[in-house]
Structure 1
Amino acid sequence: MNLKAKIAAGDPVLGSFLKTPSAMLVEVLARADLDCLCLDAEHAPFDRSQIDQCALAARAAGLPLVVRPQHSSADQILNALDCGATGLLLPHIRSGREASDAVRHGHYGPGGRGYAGSSRAAGYGAKDMQDILSTAADQTVLIAQIEDREALDDMDAIAATEGLDALFIGMMDLTVALDCDNYRDARVQDAVAHILKSAKEAGKPVGLFTPSLDDIPTYRGQGASLFLLGSDHAFMLSGARALTEKVRGLL
């Protein structure tokens, strides 16, 4: 079952963020039994060639790769998909219209994704057009990140967008957008509940990031199924701190 099918089925999907533009780290994290990896090209310094190299490493390792681009424009979406990404985590989707536009740009069809038969995604010319189109339709994953106050006012329309595979709750972004000091603030959690409700009514899967793993059973019970947790930076820092603490206690 590919990533798109797993998400659609509501099966638990676990991924993490990559903040360092390094194909080698993609290879390392591919050994961690993750369901997917998300390149954070929105907040980390990924250029086009680095996305390309990381996509190559992910494909070689058989690890589904989602890219969060700098913005949800047609060129950013096309770049990631042509490089061979499995899909996109689309930042700052604030309305049903923005969601519809992003979906159109992520799929082939009238006014949609530009066609190229020579990209990595197209097998460098080894596949015929119908094979390329059917594979893209079967596998491309488009996830709308909900992180702005404005999105909360149009949640039903966003959630109902045809062709959108899932919603993703930007927990910390919402915390800042709602002018709260902590994601556990009632205003943030009310927004999360609102998003989950709209998603459930539309039959749309929901994902999220949470700083505390202890929250996972709660959000899973409320309907979330896609969890993008931690990052390469967090793994390195926690590992280094654990080593330092243990060794200094022995000195």
Structure 2
Amino acid sequence: MHNFKSTLSQTSLLGTFVKTPHPHIVEVLSLAELPFIILDAEHAPFDRTSLDACILAARANQLPCLVRVQDSAPSTILNALDCGATGVQIPHVCTEQQAQTIARTCHYGEGGRGYAGSSRAANYATKPMAQHLADSASSTVVIAQIEDPEGVDNVDAIAGVEGIDALFIGQVDLTVAYGATSVNDEKVRQASIKIIEAAQKHGKPVGMFVATAQQAKDWGEIGVSFFCVGSEHKMIIDGFRQERNVMNS
């Protein structure tokens, strides 16, 4: 598998969130030639076994696979990375100190990620420690999701943390937090632009969730470089609704 970390800053990378905790979905999505997927362990019913199976399916099909974990606990992050995930996306990152702790937790070193050479990530004890440490340092992707007003206020400091590879704009949570009724609210838009500017200042890519590819094109012109368009659930619903409408027209 190519080093996804090195391609993350390319423009117009279009992936999707995966909500169904079953490897068949991942296998099918690999045929769509997406550049990446994000397993949504924050909002979908992934347990340790299903997460492991889906990551295995992604690796078997050379599909970069990130995990949006449910929290930033070391055990949560360790599980995703030991299973072989390309990286993790951490929700609700609000301060520089929190970002520093997350970056340390995601990488090997003093006070950081616990080492186990028997994991899938380490090729089940067949990869020398020095090689696994080097590979992990060069390829593990750590994304801080900014979705709270406090995170927006501190976004410049968060973006500057070494070990945070990218930012992700959580527009829906920002909409709720600001008391708005739409992601198109001007306050949400300005917060999003502030996040983009902070990422650009520190030379880091920024991603976001969008409902359609057209929205991705619009935000891409402003500086967003990778997108999650909907989910496999949305694609199933939209696809069959479209076919039903054709049938009934």
Looking at structure 2, the residues matched to 62 and 204 of structure 1 have their Cα atoms a distance apart, in angstroms, of: 24
Aligned to 1:111: 111
Cα distance per residue 1:110-135 (max 9 Å; x no partner): 10000000010010111110111011
Is residue 2:86 matched to residue 1:86? Answer: yes
User: For residue 148 of structure 2, what is the amino acid of its counterpart?
Assistant: D
CA distance in 2, matches of 1:123, 1:69: 23
Give the structure 1 partner of residue 12 of structure 2. 12
Mapped partners of 1:236, 1:5: distance in 2: 31
Aligned twin of 1:63: 63
Secondary structure of the corresponding residue to residue 121 of structure 1: helix
- Residue in 2 that maps onto 1:151: 151
Pairwise CA distance, 1:14: 1.7
Task: Name structure 2 gaps, 5 residues minimum.
Answer: none
For the 8 Å contact 1:65–1:87, the answer to whether it is kept is: yes
Q: Is the 8 A contact 1:196 1:223 kept in 2?
A: yes
* Deviation larger for 162-171 or 237-246: 237-246
Q: How does 1:224-243 map to 2 (within 5 A)?
A: 224-243=224-243
Q: Secondary structure, in 3 states, of the residue corresponding to 2:71?
A: coil
Are the counterparts in 2 of residues 92 and 148 from structure 1 also a CA contact under 8 Å?
yes
The CA deviation at 1:21 is 0.3
Q: How many residues align?
A: 248
The answer to whether 1:35 aligns with 2:35 is: yes
Q: Counterpart of 1:114 in structure 2: which amino acid? A: G
Secondary structure of residue in 2 paired with 1:227: strand
CA distance in 1: counterparts of 2:219 and 2:233, whole angstroms: 24
**1:183 maps to what in 2?**
183
**What letter is aligned with 1:5?**
S
CA distance in 2, matches of 1:219, 1:105: 31
Q: Distance in 1 between matches of 2:216 and 2:80?
A: 29
Runs of 4+ aligned structure 1 residues displaced above 6 Å come to none
- Does the residue aligned with 1:38 lie in a helix, a strand or coil? strand
Unaligned runs of 5+ in 1: none
Q: How is 1:206-217 mapped onto 2 (pairs within 5 angstroms)? A: 206-217=206-217
- Distance in 2 separating the partners of 1:173 and 1:223: 21
Partner of 2:52: 52
Where 2:195 maps in the other structure, the secondary structure is helix
The aligned amino acid for 1:80 is: A
**What TM-score do the two structures reach when normalised by structure 2?**
0.97
The one-letter amino acid paired with 1:46 is: F
Q: CA deviation at 1:243?
A: 2.1
- 3-state SS of 1:230 partner: strand
Give the whole-Å Cα distance in 1 for the aligned partners of 2:201 and 2:146.
16
**Aligned counterparts, 1:128-167, within 5 A:** 128-167=128-167
Distance (Å, rounded) in 1 between the aligned partners of 2:11 and 2:247 = 40
Identity %: 48
Deviation at 1:247, TM superposition (A): 2.2
Structure 2 CA distance for aligned equivalents of residues 212 and 68 of structure 1? 20
Deviations 1:84-134, CA, capped at 9 Å, x for gaps: 100011111011111111111100011000000001001011111011101
Listed as ranges, the matches of 1:118-129 within 5 Å are 118-129=118-129
